[in-house]
Amino acid sequence: MTVSNLKSVLPGDVHKAWSVVTTASEYPRWRTDLSRVQILGPEAFLEYTADGYVTKFTIIRAKPGQLWELEMDNTNLHGRWVGRFRQRGLATVVDFTEYVSVKKVWMKPFVKGYLKKQQAQLITDLRRAICSESKRIHS
C-alpha cells in the first residue's frame, strides 16, 4: 500500500472549504482534472477524468467541517481518501491523505509520484475555487 499526504492552509472559514470539497456535483466547475461527475446516490459518485478514466467514490464517514473519508476504486487502483479540516484563526487547514493499492504491478513504482501530483493539483484548484467564491461574494 502506498500512502500520500498533503497539508495546506487555505483562506477562509472551514465550512466553506468543507462545502466545496464535499459537493461532488460541482467538481467540474473548479477541478481542472475532471470532465464530469455522475452522482449515484447520497453516498456514492463517479469522477470522469479528461483522459476518460472513471473512479468510483463511496462515502465511508462524514463529520461536517472535520472529516470526509471515501473509498475509491478504478481499473488501476483501490484505496481510501481521507480529508481532515480544521479552523486556524481566519484560515482553514486541510490535511488530505490517500491510502492506495495498485491493481497492476508495473504501476507500483509510479503511484507515489502520481498521487503527489494529483494532490497538488487538487489543492491548487481548491484554493482557486475558494478565492474566486470569496471575491464573488464580496463584489
Cα–Cα nearest to 6, from 130, 115, 129: 115
| Mean pLDDT of all residues belonging to the chain | 94
This prediction has a pTM of 0.92
Alpha helices in 23-107 (DSSP H): 27-30
Q: Which of 6, 16, 51, 9 is nearest to 132 (CA)?
A: 16
Flag whether 122 is in a domain. Answer: yes
Asked if the structure places residue 39 within a domain, the reply is no
Domain span at residue 8 reads: 2-21+57-138
Q: What is the mean pLDDT of residues 44-60?
A: 97
Q: What is the dihedral of CA 52, 62, 102, 76, to 10 degrees?
A: -20
For residue 127, is pLDDT > 90? yes
For residue 132, what pLDDT is reported?
Answer: 82
How many other C-beta atoms are found inside a 10 Å radius of the C-beta of residue 63?
11
In a domain, 48, yes or no: no
